[in-house]
Amino acid sequence: DTAVSQTPKYLVTQMGNDKSIKCEQNLGHDTMYWYKQDSKKFLKIMFSYNNKELIINETVPNRFSPKSPDKAHLNLHINSLELGDSAVYFCASSQGLSPGTDTQYFGPGTRLTVL
Amino acid sequence: AQSVTQLDSQVPVFEEAPVELRCNYSSSVSVYLFWYVQYPNQGLQLLLKYLSGSTLVKGINGFEAEFNKSQTSFHLRKPSVHISDTAEYFCAVTASGSARQLTFGSGTQLTVLP
């Protein structure tokens, strides 16, 4: 049973296209996150949602729009893709909002390549 | 704000040898510290964390880390590594209390050689 799953695993697309990445967790957690890992392996948080409410919204271009239809899903839609968007995107979930007490569980990642 | 520096981007080591992966942090407030491991083509998973109390923290797979406040370090150690420990290791920090996000280091690739 996969706790946090993401689709697709790989995504190759042209500049200017719009694409979505889906994330689902079956852990019953209330909080979900999107992280971006760049080519130098730096991992940076983009968004977090708690009970479908946006909690963290880091400095991310507004071409990126997260959508949480329910607590178990957090999708990431990206408009007008740019070369610099190429990265690995990780979804994660945790029970609550505090990293100290609420362990984050990560999905396997989606490798996005923009040509 | 907090930041993390992982001093070694790559650490090759022979099987059954000891290893230390270094992590230094910067923060003006008290912190929680974490080590995560990323096996090839997988997401990150928590190895261990320091919240308070004993400065020596034991985690999964035989790893341990020591919190050193005076040196602002949280180095990860294992006395004898296996081939299966080959992975990317990330140190992370967050402000203690009600902080809501983790700040990650740039990772250290541990390669265990036969």
CATH, residue B76: 2.60.40.10
Q: Using a CB-CB distance cutoff of 8 angstroms, which residues of chain B are in contact with residue A97? A: 98, 100
Residue B49 and residue A109: Cβ atoms within 8 Å? no
Q: Tell me the per-residue pLDDT of B35-49, one tens digit each, with 9 for 90 and over.
A: 999 998 888 999 999
> To the nearest whole angstrom, how far is the Cα of A81 from the nearest Cα of chain B?
24
Which band of pLDDT confidence, cut at 50, 70 and 90, is reported for residue B99?
A: low
Q: What integer best gives the mean pLDDT of chain A?
A: 92
Q: A105 in helix, strand or coil?
A: strand
pLDDT above 90 (res B86): yes
Query: How far is the C-alpha of A53 from the C-alpha of A31, rounded, in Å?
Result: 9
Query: How far is the C-alpha of A56 from the C-alpha of A113, rounded, in Å?
Result: 25
Query: How far is the C-alpha of B51 from the C-alpha of B67, rounded, in Å?
Result: 10
Q: Tell me the per-residue pLDDT of B11-67, one tens digit each, with 9 for 90 and over.
A: 999 999 999 999 999 988 889 999 999 998 888 999 999 998 899 999 999 999 999
Q: Tell me the per-residue pLDDT of A36-54, one tens digit each, with 9 for 90 and over.
A: 999 888 899 999 988 888 8
Query: How far is the C-alpha of B111 from the C-alpha of A109, rounded, in Å?
Result: 21
Domain that includes residue B77, residue range: 3-113
Token code pair at residue A16: 């200017």
Question: What is the arithmetic mean of pLDDT over A76-100?
Answer: 93
Tell me which chain A residue has its CA closest to the CA of residue B5.
A42
Domains in chain A, ordered, with CATH? 4-114 (2.60.40.10)
Residue B88 and residue A45: Cβ atoms within 8 Å? no
- Element containing residue A3 per DSSP (H, E): none
Instruction: Let me know: does A97 contact A50? Beta carbons within 8 Å.
Output: yes
pLDDT above 70 (res A87): yes
